[in-house]
């Protein structure tokens, strides 16, 4: 089972989404559905992929009413086939209707990310490279979207600006180091020697310099596959390597063949297409 986000993160996201959709009252359901009317319901997939977000959908229904009974059929991270039920429930019909869209939004969005991630992982399975996500996430949903990446077999990059050093071009331009890579590394290590340090390289000359310094990972930014292969050879295992920039499903097999350690893919979270799910209610 994939380790889920903290319970408080899931609950907060569920409450925020439900509150946004319901507002003061779901007026259509309030007028048309008697308060004592109950039903059974299920959420099922309308296409195949990798499941993610069931835990958040459950939190939405619990937020809507403690009287909704939930039965999880599939776990996040598992393959799901078209027409397969992933979650069953029973309880007040009015409240299930109110929570329906928010719950489906989470499952569709997160399963889309997990499914796309799985495709990237499969595309590079013949090599050692691991697929990384980025910070290109939906504001307020980063923990959940990075969870979906894990459900798809991917690996999380840094969670934010606080848990890893990652100086890029603009840091070098505006810092007081004069862009000197050795001085950049020295200052960051002096601040905290235990924090992971990744430094971006745009050229082979920068790769040569960084390979001699105390860095954990060299990020090979927007390089051709041929140049990346040269960079990996120059580094010679002295630190990890990460390929970044314009990574597509068609390109990543060739990138992985350069024997980089990681490939970071912004598309996992900024361009994933939602996987289609539906909720069916019965008396």
Average pLDDT over residues 99-121: 98
Tell me the backbone φ, ψ of residue 90, rounded to 5 degrees.
-150, 150
Q: Give CA–CA dist 7/259, Å, rounded.
A: 37
Percent of the chain at pLDDT > 90 equals: 98
Does the annotation mark 200 as catalytic? yes
Of 136, 186, 240, 251, the catalytic one is: 136
Is residue 1 situated within a structural domain? no
3-state class (DSSP) for residue 242:
strand
Is residue 176 situated within a structural domain? yes
Q: pLDDT tens digits for 178-228? A: 889 999 999 999 999 999 999 999 999 999 999 999 999 999 999 999 999
Does the annotation mark 136 as catalytic? yes
At 157 the pLDDT is 96
Residues 111 and 138 in one domain: no
Which ranges constitute the DSSP H helices of 130-168? Answer: 142-151
Q: Where are the beta strands (DSSP E) in 3-84?
A: 38-45, 49-50, 69-72, 79-80
Average pLDDT over residues 90-110: 98
| Structural domain boundaries, residue 29 | 7-121+272-282
Residues 20 and 91 in one domain: yes
Pairing mode of beta strands 217-221, 198-201: parallel
CA separation, residue 258 to residues 116, 164, 241, 261, 278 (Å): 22, 25, 10, 9, 42
H or E element in which residue 99 lies:
helix 93-123
Residues 130 and 249 in one domain: yes
CATH classification of the domain holding 257? 3.20.20.70
Of 100, 200, 242, 261, the catalytic one is: 200
Residue 265 has pLDDT above 90, yes or no: yes
Report the predicted TM-score, pTM, of the whole model to 2 decimal places: 0.97
Does the annotation mark 168 as catalytic? yes
Tally of structural domains, the chain: 2
Is residue 2 situated within a structural domain? no
Residue 1 has pLDDT above 90, yes or no: no
Residues 90 and 202 in one domain: no
Does the annotation mark 221 as catalytic? yes
């Amino acid at each position: 089972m994939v380790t889920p986000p903290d319970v408080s993160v899931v609950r907060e996201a569920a409450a925020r989404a439900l509150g946004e959709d319901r507002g003061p009252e779901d007026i259509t359901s309030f007028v048309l559905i008697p308060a004592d009317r109950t039903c059974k319901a299920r959420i099922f997939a309308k296409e195949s992929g990798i499941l993610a977000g069931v835990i958040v959908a459950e939190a939405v229904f619990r937020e809507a009413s403690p009287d909704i009974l939930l039965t999880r059929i599939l776990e996040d991270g598992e393959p799901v086939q078209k027409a397969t039920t992933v979650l069953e429930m029973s309880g007040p019909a009015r409240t299930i209707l109110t929570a329906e869209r928010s719950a489906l939004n989470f499952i569709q969005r997160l399963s889309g990310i997990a499914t796309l991630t799985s495709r990237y992982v499969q595309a590079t399975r013949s090599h050692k490279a691991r697929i990384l996500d980025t910070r290109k996430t939906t504001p307020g949903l980063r923990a959940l979207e990075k969870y979906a990446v894990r459900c798809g077999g991917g690996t999380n990059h840094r969670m934010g600006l606080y848990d890893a050093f990652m100086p890029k071009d603009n840091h070098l331009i505006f810092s007081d180091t004069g862009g000197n890579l050795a001085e950049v590394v020295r200052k960051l290590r002096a601040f905290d020697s235990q924090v992971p340090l990744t430094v971006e390289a745009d050229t082979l000359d920068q790769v040569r310099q960084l390979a001699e310094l105390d860095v954990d990972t060299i990020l090979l930014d927007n390089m051709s596959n041929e140049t990346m292969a040269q960079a990996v050879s120059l580094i010679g295992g002295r630190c990890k390597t990460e390929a970044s920039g314009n990574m597509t499903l068609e390109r990543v097999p060739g990138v992985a063949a350069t024997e980089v350690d990681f490939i970071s893919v912004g598309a996992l979270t900024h361009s994933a297409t939602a996987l289609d799910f539906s909720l069916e209610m019965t008396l």
